[in-house]
């Protein structure tokens, strides 16, 4: 198994030589990602758990949503692994658009799923997350664990602070997210830590066609994006 480069980077103060070596490794990884994923616009990134198999309702929802988005002219990007990611990449291939994966090197040896047209495997989570955001004009988030929560709130924070544009952000699996939604609309809003603008950056639905309609309307209204015609 490859050395855990994130762990070695974050283990404390190091020599100047080791720091420069890390900078070189990260720069090389960034360059590889930039070259691998050029020319993919318009692209929608779909986030979600690696744990669901093909019989699970959320796997099937991810597949149906990616298929609908692909039929609407969007390439599909995921984290490249199993579960929700596999379902979305499968839907993309069935729609005839480009299916993209940003895989990650993990101790559990996550492998790229079999439904990818383009992919790259990254050592560093922050490089991978940059790729998942950089090339997309919209985001769909299905149920997941800590990594998915991280992706939700990092994307929201980047929008809120003006680091990225207010791209459409759709959360699917409404029953799964209900307690989180209530916490944000109740406690966080009442304490003033967020405002209604932050809440309104999220669109909740379990309908793939509503997802496509919302993303289309947002992109057609606010962004200059030319959608592709699947073969």
Residue 45: which residues within 8 A CB-CB, separation 6 or more? Answer: 76, 77, 78, 132, 133, 135, 136, 138, 139, 140
Specify the residue for token string 């019989």: 55
Architecture of domain 5-222: 3-Layer(aba) Sandwich (3.40)
**Band of residue 9 on the pLDDT scale cut at 50, 70, 90:** low
**Band of residue 7 on the pLDDT scale cut at 50, 70, 90:** low
**Band of residue 1 on the pLDDT scale cut at 50, 70, 90:** very low
Classified as helix, coil or strand, 99 is strand
Over 60: is that where the pLDDT of 144 sits?
yes
Over 70: is that where the pLDDT of 108 sits?
no
Looking at residues 157-161, what average pLDDT do you find? 93
Rounded to whole angstroms, the Cα distance separating 133 from 207 reads 23
Over 90: is that where the pLDDT of 208 sits?
yes
pTM of the model: 0.89
Q: What is the pLDDT of residue 180?
A: 96
């Amino acid at each position: 198994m490859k050395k855990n480069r994130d762990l070695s980077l974050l283990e404390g103060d190091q020599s100047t030589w080791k720091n420069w070596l890390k900078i070189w490794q990260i720069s090389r990884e960034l360059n590889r990602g930039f070259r691998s994923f050029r020319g993919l616009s318009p692209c929608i990134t779909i986030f979600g758990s690696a744990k669901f198999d093909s019989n699970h309702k959320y796997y099937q929802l991810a597949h149906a949503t990616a298929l609908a988005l692909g039929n609407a002219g969007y390439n599909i990007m995921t984290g490249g692994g199993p579960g929700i990611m596999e379902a979305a990449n499968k839907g993309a291939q069935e729609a005839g658009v480009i299916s993209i994966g940003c895989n990650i090197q993990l101790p559990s040896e996550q492998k790229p799923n079999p439904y990818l047209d383009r992919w790259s495997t990254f050592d560093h989570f922050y490089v991978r997350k940059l790729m998942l955001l950089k090339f997309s004009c919209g985001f769909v988030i299905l149920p997941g664990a800590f990594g998915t929560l991280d992706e939700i709130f990092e994307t929201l924070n980047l929008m809120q602070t003006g680091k990225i544009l207010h791209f459409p952000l759709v959360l699917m699996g409404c029953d799964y997210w209900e307690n989180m939604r209530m916490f944000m609309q109740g406690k966080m809003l009442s304490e003033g830590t967020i405002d209604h603008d932050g809440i309104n950056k999220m669109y909740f639905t379990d309908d793939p066609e509503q997802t496509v309609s919302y993303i289309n309307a947002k992109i057609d209204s606010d962004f200059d994006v030319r959608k592709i015609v699947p073969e």
